[in-house]
Amino acid sequence: MIHLVLVSHSQTLASGALDLIEGMVPDTTNVTISLASGTDEGTLGTSPTRVMAALQSLEASHTYVFYDIGSARMSSEMALDLMDHPHNMTLCDVAFIEGAFTTAVMANAQMSHDQIMEELKQLKKP
Amino acid sequence: MELQQQKQWLKNYSERLIEEAPMLNALDTPIGDGDHGSNMAKGAKAILEVLDTEIADQATLYKQVAIALISKVGGSAGPLYGSAFLAMAGPEHMLDKFSKGLEAIESRGKAVPGEKTMVDMWDAFLNEQTMAHLDKAIEAITAMKATKGRASYVGERSIGHMDPGAMSSYLMFETYLEVFS
């Protein structure tokens, strides 16, 4: 199982991204998507502890983390630091929606980690 | 350094953050999302809860404070201050702690001095631990142009505007000097 974690300031944006990917990739037998969005109070923001909870929610062969803006990156990096950077977790410094969508498509088609990372290179954030 | 003194400082700092939340929000509004004060106040409330518990030693104190900030703040300040306090949990004396804290902020935020961030305030404090120097530093930071973080998007318009992150760090050092001088 491949695990995608979407880290967003907004619960609406994260669940919208999930809708979009599930709609465009109807067969997701190989892919599970978790959300780490908003704060504990439900306000806009990100939290390393919520990212950690999402990362730990599934035993996956590989976990790919996508993040939106600002503190989403720092919160994701901190979560991975606190977990001592498991070798099978990758923080993807790529466009949020396109990156998650591309990875869902490729993972579902059983493409390898290297193939996915190669494709994601083209979606790198500026 | 006495554990009791460190707790007093963190208590004063948290109370000051809660008090000054509107001011920090106002500073954050033209250049950020206007929530630095509210975010820090959430962290401060969580720190006050930590201070109400039994704390055996200073390592536990700093770790608990870090966890409070990491889980409650909600913006970039959470991982930044959280990383700093985690790095301060070692056995070092206060100035060396702050020096470790600064390293952690620089590494977490990929920031260096001169970019108009809280890094500049930490850097200034490590150079000289007086109120006069802190006041001079906040003026100098205000005159800088932001080249890091969201404030950098407004470029020249950040000149003359007091940085909210530098200001929340100023409050930290100010309360530190009140307790430790």
Q: How confident is the model over A94-117, as pLDDT tens digits? A: 999 999 999 999 999 999 999 999
Is the Cβ pair B70, A39 closer than 8 Å? Answer: no
Rg (CA), chain A: 13
Report the residue from A43, A77, A78 with minimal CB separation from B74.
A43
pLDDT of residue B149: 87
- Interchain pair A77, B76: CB under 8 A: no
Cα torsion B140, B141, B144, B147 to 10°: value is 160
Minimal Cβ distance to B70: which of A41, A45, A48: A48
Between chain A and chain B, the number of residue pairs with CB atoms below 8 A apart is 51
Residue by residue, DSSP assigns A30-74 as TEEEEEEES-TTSSS---HHHHHHHHTT---SEEEEEE-STHHHH
Gap between the Cα atoms of A89 and A7, Å rounded: 14
**Res B33: pLDDT:** 86
In total, chain A counts a number of residues equal to 126
Helix, strand, coil share of chain A (percent; to 5) = 45, 20, 35
pLDDT at B1: 57
- The residues in B 113-172 lying below 8 A from A, measured between CB atoms, are 149-150
Q: Shortest Cα distance from A44 to chain B (angstroms)?
A: 8
Q: What is the pTM of this model?
A: 0.92
For residue B155, the model assigns a pLDDT of 87
Res B127: pLDDT = 98
A41: chain B residues, CB-CB within 8 Å: 42
**Min distance A36 CA to chain B CA atoms (Å):** 12
User: Could you tell me if B69 and B81 are in contact, meaning their C-beta atoms sit under 8 angstroms apart?
Assistant: yes
- For CA atoms A122, A119, A54, B66, the dihedral sign is negative
Give me the residue from B75, B80, B82 closest to A45, CB to CB.
B75
Q: Is A85 a catalytic residue?
A: no
Per-residue pLDDT of chain B (181 residues; tens, 9 = 90+): 589 999 999 999 999 999 999 999 999 998 888 999 999 999 999 999 999 999 999 999 999 999 999 999 989 999 999 999 999 999 999 999 999 999 999 999 999 999 999 999 999 999 999 999 999 999 999 999 999 988 899 989 999 999 999 999 999 999 999 999 8
Q: How far is A102 from chain B (nearest CA, A)?
A: 28
User: How many CB atoms are closer than 10 A to CB A58?
Assistant: 15
**Among A103, A101, A100, A97, residue whose Cα is nearest residue A117:** A103
Q: Which amino acid is at B117?
A: T
Q: Residues in chain A with pLDDT < 70?
A: none
Q: Work out the burial of residue A80: count CB atoms within 10 Å of its CB; fewer than 13 is exposed, 13-18 middle, 19 or more buried.
A: buried
- Decide: residue B117, CB within 10 A, 0-12 exposed, 13-18 middle, 19+ buried: buried
ipTM of the complex: 0.86
For tokens 């410094």, what's the residue? A93
Instruction: Give the per-residue pLDDT at A68.
Output: 97
pLDDT reported for residue B145: 96
